[in-house]
Amino acid sequence: MCIFCCFFCFCRFFSVLFAIFACQMSDSTIHTYGLVLRAVRYGDSQVIVSVFTAEQGTVPFIVRQPRSGKAGAKASVWQPLTLVELVWDVRQRSALQKPREMTVWRSWRSLPFEPYKTAMSLFLGEFLGYALRGEQANEAMFEYIVQALTWFDESEVHYANFHVVFLLHLTRFLGFMPNVEDWHEGCFFDLEAATFTTVPPAHVHYLNPEESALVPKFLRMNIRSMQVVGLNGAMRRRALEIVTEFYRLHVPEFPELKSLHVLAEVFA
């Protein structure tokens, strides 16, 4: 009986040891770059920071917010649209990851300081926070976002249409970019199906021919050539409303954006 008990304890010990070893083997250390999407306070001294990373997609991190005089400097790391460098030990069974290091990768030159760019950045931060929520790894999309925001940060003129062009081209990576080859003069754009049609759809989510003609114009240009489309404030506001509605129809649980109204007031 004693021999059996010893054997049982011996087997149990090694089974536990093997489980610990297997768990450790399933974890790994990640060193990558990311774009901060949003930060939400969690309790008195912690913040949940969602970061879209180059290699792991959108990852939620829980970080401790210091109470000392360094709190302000530390908080700047997880402001929306901040580009960060990250190192963390992946915990497969944990919904929230704990970064070993989270530091600024690239500092923006003008986005936090110029009023118009700041307003657009706040809007884009909120927009991307919902559009990329739960997004899987997509290095091409990450590279596109970083390059576009870098251009926006460095540009001094001709960036008023940036957010419209940027978000429309982002749909290519999200899987619902319209096929502009199907457009011809006089057709309607079906926002639900993301296609052009010769007759109005049976639902209310579509654009008239005049507004539909703007879709291929925006999609055929890049951020460096977007100034060729001249829009006044009212037209630009309407274009942004259309883009937001388009995303709301294709991205689950995409809400009404508070910053959209703030942006409209700033540019008014």
What are the per-10-residue average pLDDT scores of the chain (268 residues)? 46 44 58 93 89 93 75 70 93 89 93 91 93 93 96 89 91 92 92 94 95 87 69 80 94 89 73
In a domain, 1, yes or no: no
In a domain, 5, yes or no: no
My answer on whether 93 and 54 are in the same domain is: yes
* pLDDT attached to residue 68: 60
* pLDDT attached to residue 223: 75
Give burial (CB, 10 Å; 0-12/13-18/19+) of 225. exposed
> What interhelical angle do 115-131 and 162-174 show, nearest 10?
20
My answer on whether 185 and 222 are in the same domain is: yes
My answer on whether 129 and 215 are in the same domain is: yes
E strand or H helix at 202: none
pTM of the model: 0.83
- Could you give the CA distance from residue 111 to residue 119 in angstroms, rounded to a whole number? 9
What's 65's DSSP letter?
P
Q: What angle do CA 139, 144, 145 make, to 5 degrees?
A: 100
My answer on whether 136 and 248 are in the same domain is: yes
- Write out the two tokens for 222: 């890049």
My answer on whether 229 and 118 are in the same domain is: yes
In a domain, 139, yes or no: yes
Contact 70, 122 (CB under 8 A): no
State the sign of the Cα–Cα–Cα–Cα dihedral 133, 122, 80, 152.
positive
Contact 239, 231 (CB under 8 A): yes
- Could you give the CA distance from residue 207 to residue 191 in angstroms, rounded to a whole number? 7
Domain boundary among 107, 142, 164: 107
* pLDDT attached to residue 23: 42
- Nearest Cα residue to 169 out of 194, 144, 190, 150: 144
My answer on whether 100 and 115 are in the same domain is: no
* pLDDT attached to residue 268: 62
What's 157's DSSP letter?
S
* Alpha-helical segments (H) within 99-174: 115-131, 139-154, 162-174
* pLDDT attached to residue 19: 42
> How many structural domains are present in the chain?
2
Residue-range definition of the domain harbouring residue 254: 110-268
Three-class SS state of 209: helix
81: domain CATH number? 2.40.50.140
Contact 39, 60 (CB under 8 A): no
